[in-house]
Amino acid sequence: MELNDAAARRRFEGLFDAHYAELTRFAARRVGADAAGDIVAHTFLIAWRRFAELPPEHTRAWLYSTARQVIANELRGRTRRERLAAKAAAGGDVEVADPSGQVDEQLRVRAVLAELSPADQEVLRLVEWDGLDVAEAALVLRCTRTALKVRLHRARKRFAQRLLASEEQDASPIRRTRPTIVPGRSTTT
């Protein structure tokens, strides 16, 4: 089906209008707001080129799956560029933000989510943040609905356990720290 056809063009425009905002949020959570627009544009470019192949009953899942692949390509490119920049800098220190000192609940949730495996993170984000149902998420992750349900159940369980442990640690009245060991001195903190 060619997009020169007026009906096909209207269908594509409807698809764009219906899913642009949610795909932008999906991409922004993974690659940041600056790159999200490019990710979504590339996703819709692929949809435009492969319009005849889009499954009408699972178009949303197809778009998420395609966006996920575009994001993976973007992240691989970033990693290559960062390695190249690190080589060029020849040993410059890389600073990593430590969110563990923050009390805000949103940061705590993100920190706990970051402790999970990439597979657990992806299934939780697709279902909980992006609002895909089990069938759509299974299509995006290219697995059966049953496998997705099992993965989702296990990911939720691991997330809940880690979140509870994080809350218990923050609620502890006495925080334990490791003693600093200096040769020749006995110091405890």
The DSSP 8-state label assigned to residue 54 in this structure reads: -
pLDDT of residue 167: 76
pLDDT of residue 182: 39
Residues 6+ apart with CB under 8 A from 22: 130, 131
**Any idea what the Cα angle at residue 41 is, between residues 40 and 45, rounded to 5°?**
115
pLDDT of residue 101: 47
Burial of 84 (0-12, 13-18, 19+ CB in 10 A): exposed
pLDDT of residue 78: 84
Along the 189 residues of the chain, how does pLDDT read in single tens digits? 454 688 888 989 999 999 999 999 999 999 999 999 999 999 999 999 998 888 888 999 999 999 999 999 888 888 888 887 777 776 555 555 544 444 467 777 888 889 999 999 999 999 988 889 999 999 999 999 999 999 999 999 999 999 888 777 766 654 444 443 334 444 444
The Cα-based distances of 128 to 67, 97, 99, 143, 161 in angstroms read 17, 25, 22, 18, 17
Report the candidate in 101, 126, 99 with the shortest Cα–Cα distance to residue 110: 99
The DSSP 8-state label assigned to residue 174 in this structure reads: S
Other Cβ atoms less than 10 A from the Cβ of 125: the count is 17
Residues 56-82: b if buried by 16+ CB within 10 A, e if exposed: eebbbbbbbbbbbebbeebeeeeeeee
